[in-house]
């Protein structure tokens, strides 16, 4: 373990590169006594049975102390900006820590407390007796959003146990075995040798941050010296009928929810941009959690209180449609965290630290809307704890980041438990921040036909694309504001609560103008029964995928190869078996090597080329043949999407049957029909069959090419779609 004991009660380890990068960002708000990107997870609960009659302040305080024993890193702190310190507490120290970090607030709202949060060396928990709300607060260098929900789940579990935890009898000191490691240790990067490939990939990924220069953002009329305000929360509710319509649209479009919401966030940037900026590209973050890619125990809940996230920058162009952007994001999210990316991550984090240190003083603040998906929240935080006789019901939960610059952060979860009154609903949370609300604005629930797409391999509640429309008005009958709507704040002139509405043609919540920039969280609630049905259907669909293999359409394709008789007359060669031999791909598509040569010009003497092709049928070559050419036929099964990849080749392609989409890594997408031709010149691209029922066939002639060298001297090498470019 990376933590070492330095005296009887103190343990420490180095603050690693990924944590250092996030802390450098957090410390940019130190002059305001605030922490940029700090994480808030707010749970609204109802005590059940005997717990309702107990002293809840004492109960929750003891649960908080017990949570430290389970997740001791919540009480670790940073010293000298380089060392992570944990002190094993005696009874007095534990009481002092709990007094400092567990707070009870009677006369203020959650919104007001979050808005006024200042720098604290530890994670904190606050209890609001009037509303039974529990906001947990942690620094982002200490944990990530996923790691914020799991400790909240454990905290409520500890509070609802049939026999309350006696923290005075716990074997303090034993908890040090659960001090969280850094991602560098969990991924085995501390002892690994950094390869040249790691350095190259890290440099390329850091360079991606340059795409933020000249990118689009939200127009702001506030002066540059305007001091950021605090977070405000509003909630939107979708009816079960609306939810069903959205789910249907999701199934039809077959693009992940995250990709679709991301495309909608891009649309919001363009909707709010100044007219002179609308031609610019939009660059945002593709984020992933490391947890699913790590070995046990790091993939589970044991080390929740640590930051196991990463991401990279990805641009889309202004002229793309919503659907084209969604396709581009879908292809990018499909990459996941590859072994190559994880191997290079330490070098990547070092490069990001150097990048921040090299930035000039007072750079322009980013002012775009960015996105971070939390996944299925019910997998992180259960709806009920304990028993009906002594338990806790989670009524609502939301999460978000604190922002102290002009950038907006959208955090959303596919499924967040959120019953409202007597209804059974699920909430999807969205954060937007400072300058979004400087002018009157609204969030419009788009038509289901323009909605988001289906998530693969896990249940998700889809969310219709949203557009912030300064001209929107409140009319109609289905939207409702619930308890966490923004409240009137004397310190924020012009801010008032959204009006509860009943909408029909248009559903919207309008926040009046304010002179002060601040953050706003939007919670979309959807019918829980629909979400559960959707989850079951996805599980069934996934099971069918693995138990009923796709069958390639009837294929009698036969390559007719001509040859010469000794007298020079033409004949058909009969040595090659027919029809073609097909190779099944993981996506369900198939590929056939139809012919190949190994030199240019081709040598046809004595059937040498035929013999070589015959050997390749037994031992297939790579995608290209050095110095030669390759003829391939590719059959794309319905709904399939290839990895985003690059070959060192010049390819001539013709669509023979069906229709396909060609996706480029810039975000551009083109739809191709039968007879259309593509000349593929060594670019990053992916192929998609958009049909749900019909196969597509593409005919390719591939010739080896030299690596593409850009004007800045950068060379583009081959990328097999595993994230090595």
pLDDT digits (tens, 9 = 90+) for 603-615: 888 888 888 887 7
Mean pLDDT of the chain: 75
For the chain, domain boundaries:
4-546, 562-716
- Tokens standing for residue 182: 């850094």
State yes or no: pLDDT of 509 exceeds 70. no
Mean local confidence (pLDDT), 356-367? 67
Decide if pLDDT at 92 tops 90: yes
Q: Is the pLDDT of residue 332 over 60?
A: yes
Kindly state the average pLDDT of the residues 635-646: 84
Lowest pLDDT segment from 72-86, 534-548, 684-698: 534-548
The pLDDT of residue 629 is above 60: yes
The pLDDT tens digits of the residues spanning 39-53 come to 999 999 999 999 999
Strand-pair partners of 719 = 646
- Sheet with strand 83-87: strands edge to edge: 4-5, 10-14, 83-87, 77-79
| pLDDT at position 69 over 80 | yes
Residue 533, C-beta contacts closer than 8 angstroms, at least 6 positions apart: none
Give the Cα separation of 53 and 572 in Å (integer): 91
Is the alpha carbon torsion for 619, 624, 629, 633 positive or negative?
positive
State which of 16-20, 371-375, 554-558 shows the largest mean pLDDT.
16-20
Q: Give the pLDDT confidence score for residue 37 in this predicted structure.
A: 82
Other beta carbons within 10 angstroms of residue 470's beta carbon come to 13
The answer to whether residues 277 and 216 touch, using CB atoms and an 8 Å cutoff, is yes
Query: Which has more confidence, 668 or 370?
Result: 668
Tell me: pLDDT of 1 over 70.
no
Q: pLDDT tier at 11 (50, 70, 90 boundaries)?
A: very high
With contact defined as beta carbons under 8 Å apart, do 125 and 147 qualify?
no
Mean pLDDT of 119-142: 95
Q: What is the pLDDT of residues 400-451, one digit of tens each?
A: 777 776 555 544 443 332 222 223 333 333 333 333 322 222 222 222 223 3
Best-predicted range by mean pLDDT among 224-228, 535-539, 554-558, 640-644?
A: 640-644
DSSP string, 442-454: EEEE--GGG---P
Instruction: From 6, 19, 677, select the one nearest 346 (Cα to Cα).
Output: 19
| Side-chain half-sphere exposure of 235, counting CA atoms within 13 A | 23
Q: What does the DSSP 8-state code read for residue 303?
A: T
More reliable by pLDDT, 599 or 506: 599
- Which tokens go with 191? 């002892």
Q: What is the pLDDT of residue 472?
A: 29
Tell me the average pLDDT across 671-683.
93
pLDDT tier at 232, thresholds 50, 70, 90: low
CA distance 694 to 677: 20
Predicted local distance difference test score (pLDDT) of residue 449: 24
Bigger pLDDT: 365 or 29?
29
Q: For the chain, first and last CA: distance in Å?
A: 33
Residue 569: phi and psi, rounded to 5, are -75, 145
Which residues does 247 contact at the CB level (< 8 Å), separation at least 6? 462, 530, 534
Residue range 482-495, pLDDT digits in tens = 222 222 222 222 22
Confidence of residue 587 (pLDDT cuts 50, 70, 90): low
Instruction: Provide the pLDDT for residue 474.
Output: 27
Helices (H), 160-256: 183-186, 196-207, 240-253
Superfamily of domain 562-716: Jelly Rolls (2.60.120.10)
Residue 608's pLDDT is: 83
Q: Is the pTM of this model over 0.85?
A: no
As separate numbers, helices (DSSP H) first and strands (DSSP E) second, the chain gives 14, 34
More confident residue, 493 or 185: 185
pLDDT of residue 553: 54
* CA-based nearest residue to 254, from 707, 588, 692, 704: 692
Neighbour-count burial for 666-681, b at 16+ CB within 10 Å, e otherwise: ebbbeebeeeeebebe
Q: Which residue has the higher pLDDT, 367 or 113?
A: 113
SS3 category, 686: strand
- Mean pLDDT for the stretch of residues 122-140: 96
Q: How confident is the model at residue 561 (pLDDT cuts 50, 70, 90)?
A: confident
> E strand or H helix at 101, and its extent?
helix 91-101
Q: What is the pLDDT of residue 140?
A: 93
């Amino acid at each position: 373990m990376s933590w070492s004991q330095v005296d009887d009660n103190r343990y420490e380890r180095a603050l690693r590169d990924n944590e250092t990068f996030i802390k450098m960002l957090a410390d940019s708000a130190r002059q305001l006594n605030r922490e940029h990107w700090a994480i808030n997870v707010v749970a609204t609960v109802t005590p059940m049975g005997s717990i309702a009659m107990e002293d809840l302040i004492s109960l929750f305080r003891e649960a908080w102390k017990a949570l430290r024993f389970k997740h001791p890193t919540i009480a670790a702190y940073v010293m000298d900006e380089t060392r992570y310190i944990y002190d094993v507490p005696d009874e007095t120290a534990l009481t002092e820590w709990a007094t400092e970090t567990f707070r009870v607030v009677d006369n203020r709202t959650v919104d007001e407390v979050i808005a006024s949060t200042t720098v604290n060396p530890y994670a904190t928990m606050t209890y609001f007796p009037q509303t039974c709300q529990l906001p947990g607060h942690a620094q982002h260098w200490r944990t990530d959003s996923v790691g914020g929900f799991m400790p909240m789940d454990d905290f409520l579990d500890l509070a609802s146990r049939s026999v309350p935890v006696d923290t005075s009898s716990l074997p303090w000191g034993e908890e040090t075995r659960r001090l969280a490691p850094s991602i560098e240790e969990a991924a085995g990067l501390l002892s690994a040798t950094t390869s040249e490939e790691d350095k190259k990939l890290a440099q390329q990924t850091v360079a991606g941050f340059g795409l933020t220069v000249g990118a689009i953002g939200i127009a702001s009329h506030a002066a540059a010296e305007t001091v950021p305000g605090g977070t405000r929360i509003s909630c939107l509710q979708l009816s079960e009928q609306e939810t069903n319509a959205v789910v249907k649209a999701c199934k039809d479009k077959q693009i992940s929810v995250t990709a679709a919401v991301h495309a909608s966030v891009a649309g919001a940037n363009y909707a709010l941009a100044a007219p002179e900026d609308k031609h610019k590209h939009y660059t945002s973050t593709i984020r992933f959690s490391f947890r699913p890619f790590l070995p046990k125990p790091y993939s589970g809940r044991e080390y929740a209180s640590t930051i196991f996230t990463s991401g990279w920058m990805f641009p889309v162009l202004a002229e793309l449609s919503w659907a084209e952007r969604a396709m581009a994001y879908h292809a990018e999210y499909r990459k996941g965290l590859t072994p190559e990316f994880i191997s290079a991550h330490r070098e990547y984090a070092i490069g990001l630290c150097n990048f921040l240190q090299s930035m000039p003083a007072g750079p322009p603040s980013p002012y775009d809307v960015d996105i971070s998906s939390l996944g299925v929240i019910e997998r992180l935080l259960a709806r009920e704890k304990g028993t009906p006789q002594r338990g806790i019901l989670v009524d609502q939960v939301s999460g978000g980041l604190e922002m102290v610059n002009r950038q907006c952060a959208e955090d959303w979860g596919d499924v967040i438990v959120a019953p409202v009154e007597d209804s059974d609903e699920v909430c999807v949370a969205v954060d937007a921040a400072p300058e979004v609300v400087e002018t009157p604005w609204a969030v419009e629930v788009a038509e289901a036909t323009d909605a988001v797409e289906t998530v693969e391999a896990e249940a998700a509640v889809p969310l219709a694309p949203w557009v912030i429309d300064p001209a929107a008005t409140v009319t109609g009958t289905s939207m409702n504001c619930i308890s966490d709507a923004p409240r009137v704040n004397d310190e924020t002139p012009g801010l008032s609560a959204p009006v509860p509405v009943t909408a029909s043609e248009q559903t919207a919540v309008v926040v009046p103008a304010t002179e002060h920039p601040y953050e706003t969280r939007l919670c979309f609630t959807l019918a829980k029964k629909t979400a559960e049905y959707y989850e079951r259907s996805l599980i069934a669909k996934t099971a069918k995928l693995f138990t009923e293999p796709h069958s390639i359409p009837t294929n009698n394709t036969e390559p007719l190869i001509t040859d010469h008789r000794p007298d020079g007359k033409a004949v058909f060669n009969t040595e090659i078996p027919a029809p073609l031999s097909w190779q099944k791909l993981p996506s369900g598509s198939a590929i056939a090597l139809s012919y190949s040569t190994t030199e240019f010009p081709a040598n046809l003497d004595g059937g040498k080329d035929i013999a070589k092709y015959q050997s390749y049928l037994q031992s297939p070559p790579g995608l290209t043949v050095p110095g030669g050419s390759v003829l391939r036929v590719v059959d794309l099964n319905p709904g399939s999407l290839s990895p985003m990849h690059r070959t060192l080749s010049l390819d001539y392609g013709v669509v023979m049957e069906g229709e396909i989409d060609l996706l480029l890594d810039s975000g551009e997408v083109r739809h191709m029909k039968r007879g259309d031709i593509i000349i593929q010149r060594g670019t990053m691209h992916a192929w998609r069959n958009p049909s749900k029922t019909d196969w597509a066939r593409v005919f390719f002639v591939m010739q080896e090419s030299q690596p593409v060298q850009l004007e800045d001297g950068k060379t583009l090498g081959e990328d097999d779609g595993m994230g090595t470019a």
